[in-house]
Structure 1
């Protein structure tokens, strides 16, 4: 066997073990007994110790020195393995293992603190994780910017300066549109009533099927914080249920189907290689956001969903399909990011981006985080946070150490805006299919032009190949202004 073949065989085992570790995380968030938290933390730490040892095996460096690429695909595999090897080699085994242990423990502590509205129960462990993440960032940065080193894990090649410039460009139009919408004379009516859990979950499965979810390779479960998990032939989704708000469940499900479809849509030849996963979290979020919003909240699809929900719940409080479309896109100054409308969602991300940058840099201490969050939220949204579960405790990301992840949500929205413009140009009769509850034309276009490539191309190159244009915030902002001006009759 050649050095390239030896390297690929070794990498295949790393990828398989990583998938096993991910499945342990899925189990913890869905069906694991609550009393098993400490045991699972030790199991996760042990798995990470094994994985870190393999990821830093000196033989990888030797194989990389000797391996020869026969084509561009081989060259990309070597590039990605080399990147992972260099990053892993900078992190001490002790640190990698302790991060796995602490973040596993922290998930349960966060969930309990959120349920009890008790940030004081969570902040001490968050501080421990922050110290570990600062140490990790310092090891990765090698004298460079700490936050950029963490961001690079989720959106390779992007810096916080670029993110900040993008947000500065987006904020004025988003804020102006929000003010116009909230001040409009016409306001869509809310959806009211009681919507039983079992009926919501049946509808969630119906929506997932409409978006092409492959039930032979996945499943739907309930979690505190919706997520998807897995790849290749096993990608699972979760949702959450609020019996007064079925949109929470249904659109969380569609969102996670977008993530899962990306993983399941990657060319099977890339399985168990670095090409067999989403290339970045921004690209990943582009799939979940376009499924959820541009497609799932379109007038065409909501018309189909209105009839399904009316039948399932024995009627709805809104009068007809047109009113339902407006209700599904209703803009309100709510607290929760995952429930935010398309206009305000990015403003939620900007808040988290600034706070976590300050945490990593040391400009903000964990003990001051609640006060800082509440002050920033009041300034940005004009509403005082009523309780911690609706404020600093609402997201699981910091509990599991995902510092640098949040800005990829906004990047995903920008990418989705570009993809949606290209999709509409390529599939002009898309609404006819969506009105029948068939998202197949959109799913097939996204799979062909983006999903199947996995990690074959860097994020920006992949998006440019798919859309034929430079990436810009303009398509997203134009789409939002057109859509919500019509809904609110501006």
Structure 2
């Protein structure tokens, strides 16, 4: 066992350094002075060089060869599987390329933020061209003759390919398009038309975080341009954003990120600083954030409780009762922004990004043509023109920071959330009675025990399959969407 113990001591330090790198990223998005961008890029590159050297250290290969996996318990075997996968993957990645990606993507974020504020894609395009070139190099190095986009997906959803995702999305698309058309033909619920104090929004956001089980003693809620979650174990931080006339942006961004944060906080503490000590994949991660946000947070029962909190916080804001509020929360309407999209249209936003970034990595689309391709595809899918770059190709932070292969995990997470919601309701028949009181503990405890506590002990699809007692598919999500929105909009 000494080889395994030595390996895990080495791995513990690597995991700790990776968490420091994550904290640098959190600081950059929330508190870092604007003028520090270039310096932070150098810091990120230096730290990535150290991490890459540790992840490819020849000692890891010696330890892996010396250890008999069958002599280990389930956690030990899972750690060996994940370390071996990381070691073999990182050996394919040139150290200077890893460092340059870390440096550029740190700097790129600031360039993107300024271009987004000015609605000027041309100002960002040269930087994005370099990011895409580096990610193509990374994909080619990791693929070792295979599909480079599949190799990038593996960073976020192991054991998943673009072909499998495309097949799932193709199965979902017709039903989503038909449902969208039926909803948009129906009379619309009343929209909000009120100014909501942004400090009060943040107060409500922190209350909602606690309501959904987020441990504020091991976390914090801050503001960022693009909401995100960061960290694991006992330091898990989330961000949200506010808009004076759109409190739902803050409310549901917060609940969404709490789903991510709660997952990381609830992984068994015995696995802290080990490879299995965090969420198993982004698809499973998104299943938690999406079920918290949508099936729980946008349910009729929970909206009844939330309406009372809104009245207490903001007074009369023009919505007469809880049922009208529920309809307003779930209002399907035209819009440009993915993170603000309703449940019916959200996956169409993801499918568009999936196709575009896949084409970028494969070389079928160049950055010079990206804005036009985005605008054309958006018009074809949604039926109206993009009005400005910040509502179009510049709205998401993912490509600027090099997260190519990440987008499809959002829709995969929605599919997993649909499966989990079906099983959750079967196990907790009085779920609505609990949610109507603002009590999410039955649902969040079920998700903790079925999914979150396991961390990376199983493969992603296995985690969901064990939780639901069968193989996951898109059918429960599509059935849920049709039932919910046909009821809301009065069609069969």
TM-score interval for Structure 1 and Structure 2 normalised by the shorter chain: over 0.9
Equivalent residue, structure 2, for 1:119: 121
C-alpha deviations, 1:431-464, integer Å up to 9, x for none?
Answer: 1111111111111000001000000000111100
Q: Distance in 1 between matches of 2:303 and 2:317?
A: 13
Supply the distance in 1 between the matched residues of 2:74 and 2:119 (Cα, whole angstroms).
Answer: 52
- The residue that corresponds to 1:48 in the other structure is 48
Separation in 2, partners of 1:208, 1:433: 17
Cα distance in 2 between the residues matched to 1:24 and 1:482? 44
Give the structure 1 partner of residue 58 of structure 2.
58
1:159 maps to what in 2?
A: 161
Q: Distance in 2 between matches of 1:72 and 1:16?
A: 23
Within 1, Cα distance between the matches of 2:134 and 2:88?
19
- Equivalences for 1:54-453 in 2 at 5 Å? 54-69=54-69, 70-184=72-186, 186-453=187-454
For residues 133-162 of structure 1, give each alpha carbon's deviation from its aligned partner in whole angstroms, at most 9, with x where no partner exists. Answer: 000001000000111010111110111000
1:17 maps to what in 2? Answer: 17
Distance 1:227 1:195 in 2: 22
Between the two proteins, the alignment pairs up a number of residues equal to 489
1:283, distance to aligned residue in structure 2 (A): 0.2
1:385-438 deviation line (CA, Å, top 9, x unaligned): 000000000000000000000000000000000000000011111111111111
Q: Structure 1 unaligned runs (5+)? A: none
Counterpart-to-counterpart distance in 1, 2:34 and 2:316: 38
Q: Is there any run of 5+ residues in structure 2 with no aligned partner, and where?
A: none
**1:254 touches 1:292 (CA, 8 Å); kept in 2?**
yes
TM-score, normalized by length of structure 1? 0.99
CA contact (8 A) 1:276 1:455 kept: yes
- Give the whole-Å Cα distance in 2 for the aligned partners of 1:35 and 1:343: 41
1:379 is displaced (CA, Å) by 0.1
Task: Give how far 1:19 is off.
Answer: 0.2
**2:3 matched residue in structure 1:** 3
Q: Deviations over 1:180-239 (max 9, x none)?
A: 00001x321101110111010001111111101100000000000000000000000000
Under a length normalisation based on structure 2, what TM-score does the superposition of the two structures give? 0.99
Q: Does 1:478 find its partner at 2:479? A: yes
**Distance in 1, Cα, partners of 2:290 & 2:209:** 14
* Runs of 4 or more consecutive aligned structure 1 residues displaced over 3 Å after TM superposition: none
Give the deviation of 1:308 after TM superposition. 0.7
Check conservation: 1:212, 1:443, Cα contact below 8 A. yes
Counterpart contact for 1:55–1:88, Cα < 8 Å? yes
Let me know the Cα RMSD of the aligned residues.
0.7
Provide Cα deviations, 1:311-353, integer angstroms capped at 9, x if missing partner.
2111121111000000000001210000000010000000000
- The answer to whether the 8 A contact 1:255-1:289 is kept is yes
Displacement after TM superposition at 1:72 (Å): 2.6
CA distance in 2, matches of 1:421, 1:466: 11
1:261 and 1:210 mapped to 2: Cα distance? 11
User: CA shift at 1:74, angstroms?
Assistant: 1.3
Residues 455-470 of structure 1 aligned to structure 2 (within 5 Å): 455-470=456-471
Looking at structure 1, the residues matched to 315 and 345 of structure 2 have their Cα atoms a distance apart, in angstroms, of 32
Residue deviations 1:444-486 (CA, integer Å, cap 9, x gap): 0000010000000001111000010211100000000000000
Distance in 1 of aligned mates of 2:433 and 2:33: 46
1:153 partner SS: coil
